[in-house]
Structure 1
Amino acid sequence: MGKQIPIKEDLFTWPSDAPQLIGGKCPECGEHHFPLQQNCPSCASRRIDAVKLSRRGKLWTWTTQTFVPPVPPYTGPIENFKPFGVGYIELPEGLCVEGRLTTADIDKLKIGMEVELVVETFRTDEQGNDILSYAFAPV
């Protein structure tokens, strides 16, 4: 069995039983952003503090991806494609984060519902490693 590898370093805390996204907070204007950047997207300050963002938020809006995305970014075999949900999650810090949802079932997704960050396997690489990404699950 391979290793578990985050899809990108410093995107979320890992390993963790309670993973959190790693964002930025500008000490100049107080705005949060995700992912962590070198400059504040609100005021252009270059002084950014890395912060762990809240694990829970509200589903602001969502849709389902029902067809195979272009290659790249999709890297899996076309026959293995399964529809997935994608949404914007409003976090208490005052920002919306785009992310995959753990379900594409339209009967289980409602605007305004509470969701929680999870880490799941996005794909398996050629060496058998699980490439991990973040997603949001209904609470």
Structure 2
Amino acid sequence: MTQVPLAEGLFTWPSEEPALIAGRASDGSLVFPYRSHRLVGGNREPLEQVELPRRGTLWTFTTQYFRPTSPPYAGDDTDATFQGFTVGYVELPGALRVEARLTEPDASKLRIGQEMELVIIPLGKDKDGNQTMIYAFAPVEQGSAA
């Protein structure tokens, strides 16, 4: 089955070490997800496309126990098969905080300040039957190399 990103321009794809794609303004501020322009000091300016750090720290999190409204939710589960998942904000050093699904579904195994790393995981299928892929953050195992 062919794997495709849920939306173009969210992350580098395919890649052994994926990165989220943001936009940097002339004042140094970052915007995620990337967009080509934004207002800076009242002027519309183009944004430079940049890759965000792959690792960060868990800033906060919660568990989502209900299936999101579809559309826009594009998971291939149903109300009957839906399983809750964790979602959180990961603070990327020198960049910004990113909201994302977390790969660890058990909230008791997560803690604020925990080191997290970007991964790409399956979500559902698109209209053409391709496996859609989304970004998520996984806890970094103690002692694993950067």
When the two structures are superposed, what TM-score results if normalisation uses the length of structure 1? 0.89
Aligned-pair CA distance for 1:42: 5.7
Once the two structures are overlaid, the 10-residue window that deviates more, 68-77 or 78-87, is 68-77
Q: Secondary structure at the match of 1:107?
A: helix
Once the two structures are overlaid, the 10-residue window that deviates more, 93-102 or 39-48, is 39-48
What count of residue pairs does the alignment treat as equivalent? 137
Q: Secondary structure at the match of 2:56?
A: strand
Contact 2:11–2:21 (CA<8 Å) still a contact in 1?
yes
Structure 1 unaligned spans of 5+: none
Once the two structures are overlaid, the 10-residue window that deviates more, 117-126 or 42-51, is 42-51
Cα distance in 2, alignment partners of residues 61 and 22 from structure 1: 22
2:114 aligned residue: 113
Cα distance in 1, alignment partners of residues 27 and 113 from structure 2: 28
Once the two structures are overlaid, the 10-residue window that deviates more, 113-122 or 34-43, is 34-43
1:34 aligned residue: 32
Contact 1:60–1:112 (CA<8 Å) still a contact in 2?
yes
2:97 aligned residue: 96
Cα distance in 1, alignment partners of residues 37 and 101 from structure 2: 26
Structure 2 unaligned spans of 5+: 141-146
The percentage of aligned residue pairs carrying the same residue is: 47
Structure 2 counterparts to residues 1-139 of structure 1, below 5 A: 2-26=1-25, 28-40=26-38, 43=41, 45-75=44-74, 76-125=77-126, 127-139=128-140
Cα distance in 2, alignment partners of residues 59 and 42 from structure 1: 29
Deviant stretches of 4+, over 6 Å: none
